[in-house]
C-alpha cells in the first residue's frame, strides 16, 4: 500500500515509517523538516495545498504530525490549535478527496480525571490542557467525518511513548542524562503519579495493524498494561547510574494517574505489547 | 465598563451589544463586517493582530464571533476549526495580555446523547459535529487558561437562540416564511425532537450578568426551561398561517433531544428567562 506518514521526522513518526517499510509498504513522509530514510514532502499541515499534494495519490495516511510537546502547546496554544485542529481538518478533507484510509494519533490524555478504572474508550473525555484539548478536537473531527461523510478512519489513543530517539525534554532523557553526569534528579510532586509507558515500537506496530484493518469510526486505546510511577522510574535510573533523588513542587496541569485498558485494541486490531518496561528501559540505559 | 463584543454584527451579537449599551457599558464591536449601532472594528478572529488591536484596552470581552451556522461548519470544517478554535485561542491570549475578563459563547450541543436528564454542567461532553466539536474545543481552551494561567473567564452554554433578526436558515424563519406564502412546511424526521428554544434577549441578559459577575473557570448552561418539539413549533405556525405539513427524511447529524438544566446559572449569575416561548413566537409571527 502507498502510505503517507505525517510527522514523519518526529520521534513516533520515524518509528512508524520504519515499521511500515519493514512491512512492505510504499511509504512517504510529510513533515516541516526532511525525514531521514524515506521519500518525503517538506510541508506544513496548516497549508491546505501542501497537505493535498502529499495525500493526493496514497491509499492510507498515518496522521501523527502535531504539536506533540505538551510544554510547547502550553506556551503557544494558538500554534497547537492551528496544527492539531486545523491541520487535522485539512488532512481529513484531503483523505476524503483521495478516498484513502486515515489512522489518527490521539492520546490517553484525553480522559482527564478517571471516573472509573480501568478506563475504556467509552469513558468521558475531559481534556484540561492545550495539548490534549487540541488532540481531542482533531480526533472528534476525524470520527465525525466517519459518521457524517463516510470517511474510512480510526483513532489510536496512545500511551506515553518512550524508546530510542525520545525527545530531549522527556522525563526518561532528563533523568538518564542527569544521572549519567552524576547530577541530582528532581521529581516534581511526590513521584507517585503513574504512567503506562508504551514502547514506541509497540506503538508503531499498532499503526501498522490499524492501517491494514478495516475497522472505522472508533477510537482505540493503545497503552501498555503495566503502570510505573515516576518515582519508580527515577529509582531504576539511579540503580544504574547512582546519583541523588530530590523532590520538587508539583507541576501545574500535570496529568493524574489513571489505569487505561487496551482490551478493545486487542480485540479489534489484535494489538498486544511485545516490549516490556524492563526491556525498554534497559535499552535506553545502555544507549 | 469598556466591553468588546466579537461577532457583533451577527444575530446574538447584535442583541448583546444592545443590551450592554442599555446597561450603561462602553461597547465596541468586532466582526468581519461593520456592526450597526456601535463603534466597531472590522477584523478577522484568525488574525492575531486584528484581535490584539481590538482587545488591547478593554475591561471585558463577550466572545460570540464564530462559525455559528451548523450547516456552514459541516460544509467547511477547516474554516470552523480556524475561526472557532484558533480564533478563540487568539482571543484568550489577547484577553490575558489585557488583564480583561472573558465571557465565551458555548452551546448546549456540546453534550451529545444524554446519559442522564436534566443535563447539568458536569454531564460528559460528546460533541459529534464540526460545529459543536470546535465550539467545545474553544470552551476547553478558555477554561484551561483559567486553571493554568489565571484567566478571569466563564463559558455560557447557550440554548438554541431565536428572536428578531434570526438567520434565514433557522427553522423558525423557514417555517414562518413558507407558511406565509402558503407553501407546505417540511418536518425532517418525525418532528418529535425537542428544543429548549431560548430567546435572544434572555441570552443577551445572561451575557450582561456574566460580564458583571466574578465567577471564573466554569461553564454554565443558559437554556430556557420549556421543551418544544419541532412538530409543535410547526403546528403553531400553521395555526396562524394555515398551510400543509409534510414529513421528510431525518437530517443526518441532527442533534437529539435532551433536557438541559440551567439551575447553576440561576445560582451563580441570578439568570432567569423572562420571555416565554408563546411570547417569543408571537413576536416573530407578528413581524
Range name among A238-247, A249-258, B36-45, B60-69 with the lowest pLDDT average? A249-258
Mean pLDDT of A147-175: 95
Please report the ipTM that was assigned to this predicted complex: 0.95
Is A134 within 8 Å of B130 when comparing Cβ atoms? no
- pLDDT at residue B37 in the model: 84
Exposed, middle or buried, B1 (CB in 10 Å: 0-12/13-18/19+)? Answer: middle
- pLDDT at residue A169 in the model: 86
Angle, vertex CA A254, rays to CA A253 and CA A257, nearest 5: 135
Name the β-bridge partners of A40: A29
**Contact between residue B43 and residue B8 where contact means Cβ atoms under 8 Å apart:** no
**Contact between residue A117 and residue A259 where contact means Cβ atoms under 8 Å apart:** yes
Supply the DSSP string of B28-44, one letter for each residue: EEEESSPPTTSEEEE--
Residue in B133, B141, B252 nearest the CB of A140: B133
For chain A, helix (H) and strand (E) counts, in that order, are: 11, 13
Residue A229 CA, distance from chain mean position: 19
In terms of Cα–Cα distance, which of B127, B104, B150, B140 is closest to A127?
B140
Q: Which residues of B touch A134 (CB under 8 A)?
A: 85, 137, 141
- pLDDT at residue A193 in the model: 87
| pTM recorded for the entire structure | 0.96
pLDDT digits (tens), chain B, 287 positions = 999 999 999 999 999 999 999 999 999 999 999 988 888 899 999 999 999 999 999 999 999 999 999 999 999 999 999 999 999 999 999 999 999 999 999 999 999 999 999 999 999 999 999 999 999 999 999 999 999 999 999 999 999 999 999 988 899 999 999 999 999 999 999 999 889 999 999 999 999 999 999 999 999 999 999 999 999 999 999 999 999 999 999 876 667 788 999 999 999 999 999 999 999 999 999 98
Residue B118, preceding peptide bond in cis (omega within 30° of 0): yes
Taking CA atoms, what residue in B is nearest to A136? B137
Is residue B145 assigned to a domain? yes
In terms of Cα–Cα distance, which of B36, B93, B85 is closest to B65?
B85
Burial of A80-115, coded b for 16+ CB within 10 Å and e otherwise, reads bbbbbbbbbbbbbbbbbebebbbbbbbbbbbbbebe
Is residue B279 assigned to a domain? no
Q: What is the rounded average pLDDT for all residues in chain A?
A: 96
Is residue A192 assigned to a domain? no
Tell the residue number behind the cell numbers 460570540, with chain if given. B64
Give CA–CA dist A95/A216, Å, rounded: 14
Is residue A68 assigned to a domain? yes
Residue in A80, A126, A144 nearest the CB of B133: A144
Q: Which residues of A touch B50 (CB under 8 A)?
A: none
Is residue B156 assigned to a domain? yes
Is residue B143 assigned to a domain? yes
Give CA–CA dist B155/B207, Å, rounded: 10
Is residue B46 assigned to a domain? yes
Angle formed by the axes of helices B87-98 and B48-55, to 10°?
40
- pLDDT at residue A168 in the model: 87
Give CA–CA dist A184/A197, Å, rounded: 23
Is B85 within 8 Å of A81 when comparing Cβ atoms? yes
Distance from CA of A99 to the nearest CA of B (A): 18
Is residue B50 assigned to a domain? yes
Is A253 within 8 Å of B148 when comparing Cβ atoms? yes
Domain that holds residue B213: 2-162+197-223+260-273
- pLDDT at residue A144 in the model: 98
- pLDDT at residue A253 in the model: 63
Give CA–CA dist B69/B71, Å, rounded: 5
Burial of A210-221, coded b for 16+ CB within 10 Å and e otherwise, reads bbebebebebbb
In terms of Cα–Cα distance, which of B147, B141, B125, B121 is closest to B217?
B147
Residue in B78, B90, B129 nearest the CB of A78: B90
Residue in A92, A130, A144 nearest the CB of B141: A130
The CA–CA distances, whole Å, from A214 to A101, A103, A154, A219 equal: 9, 11, 9, 13
Burial of B165-190, coded b for 16+ CB within 10 Å and e otherwise, reads ebbeebbbebbbebbeeeeebbbeee
- pLDDT at residue B253 in the model: 63
Q: Which residues of A touch B91 (CB under 8 A)?
A: none
Tens-digit pLDDT profile for residues A87-99: 999 999 999 999 9
CATH number at residue A109: 3.40.50.720
Give CA–CA dist A157/A159, Å, rounded: 7
- In sequence order, which residues have a C-beta less than 8 Å from that of residue A192 and are 6 or more positions away? A229, A230, A231, A257
Q: How many CB pairs under 8 A join A and B?
A: 102
Q: For B174, which DSSP code?
A: H
CA trace torsion B263, B269, B270, B276 (10° rounding): -70
- pLDDT at residue A59 in the model: 98
Mean pLDDT of A141-166: 97
| Residue B92, number of CB atoms within 10 A of its CB | 28
Taking CA atoms, what residue in A is nearest to B127? A140
- A217 or A194, higher pLDDT: A217
Phi, psi of A111 (to 5 degrees): -75, -40
- pLDDT at residue B23 in the model: 98
Q: Residue A52: pLDDT above 90?
A: yes
- pLDDT at residue B260 in the model: 97
- pLDDT at residue A238 in the model: 96
Distance from CA of A38 to the nearest CA of B (A): 29
> What is the tally of structural domains in chain B?
1
Angle, vertex CA B52, rays to CA B50 and CA B53, nearest 5: 65
- pLDDT at residue B127 in the model: 96
Q: If DSSP codes are grouped into helix, strand and coil, which group holds residue B198? A: strand
Is A141 within 8 Å of B48 when comparing Cβ atoms? no
Burial of A247-277, coded b for 16+ CB within 10 Å and e otherwise, reads eeeeeebebeebebbbebbeebbebebebeb
Amino acid at each position: 500500500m502507498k502510505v503517507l506518514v505525517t510527522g514523519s521526522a518526529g520521534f513516533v513518526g520515524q518509528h512508524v515509517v520504519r515499521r511500515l517499510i519493514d512491512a512492505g509498504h510504499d511509504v512517504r513522509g510529510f513533515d516541516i523538516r526532511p525525514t531521514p530514510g524515506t521519500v518525503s514532502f517538506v510541508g506544513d499541515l496548516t497549508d491546505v495545498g501542501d497537505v493535498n499534494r502529499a495525500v493526493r495519490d496514497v491509499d492510507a495516511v498515518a496522521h501523527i504530525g502535531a504539536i506533540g510537546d505538551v510544554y510547547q502547546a502550553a506556551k503557544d496554544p494558538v500554534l497547537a490549535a492551528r496544527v492539531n485542529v486545523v491541520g487535522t481538518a485539512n488532512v481529513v478533507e484531503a483523505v476524503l478527496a483521495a478516498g484513502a484510509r486515515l489512522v489518527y494519533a490521539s492520546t490517553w490524555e484525553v480522559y482527564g480525571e478517571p471516573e472509573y478504572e480501568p478506563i475504556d474508550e467509552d469513558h468521558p473525555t475531559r481534556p484540561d490542557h492545550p495539548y490534549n484539548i487540541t488532540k481531542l478536537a482533531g480526533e472528534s473531527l476525524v470520527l465525525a467525518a466517519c459518521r457524517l461523510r463516510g470517511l474510512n478512519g480510526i483513532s489510536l489513543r496512545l500511551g506515553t511513548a518512550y524508546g530510542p530517539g525520545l525527545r530531549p525534554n522527556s522525563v526518561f532523557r532528563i533523568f538518564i542524562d542527569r544521572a549519567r553526569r552524576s547530577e541530582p534528579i528532581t521529581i516534581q510532586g511526590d513521584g507517585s503519579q503513574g504512567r503506562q509507558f508504551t514502547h514506541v515500537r509497540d506503538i508503531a506496530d499498532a499503526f501498522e495493524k490499524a492501517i491494514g484493518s478495516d475497522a472505522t469510526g472508533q477510537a482505540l486505546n493503545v497503552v501498555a498494561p503495566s503502570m510505573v510511577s515516576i518515582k519508580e522510574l527515577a529509582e531504576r535510573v539511579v540503580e544504574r547510574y547512582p546519583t541523588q533523588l530530590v523532590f520538587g513542587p508539583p507541576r501545574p496541569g500535570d496529568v493524574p494517574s489513571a489505569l487505561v485498558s487496551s482490551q478493545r485494541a486487542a480485540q479489534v486490531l489484535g494489538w498486544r505489547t511485545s516490549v516490556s518496561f524492563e526491556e525498554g528501559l534497559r535499552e535506553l540505559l545502555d544507549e
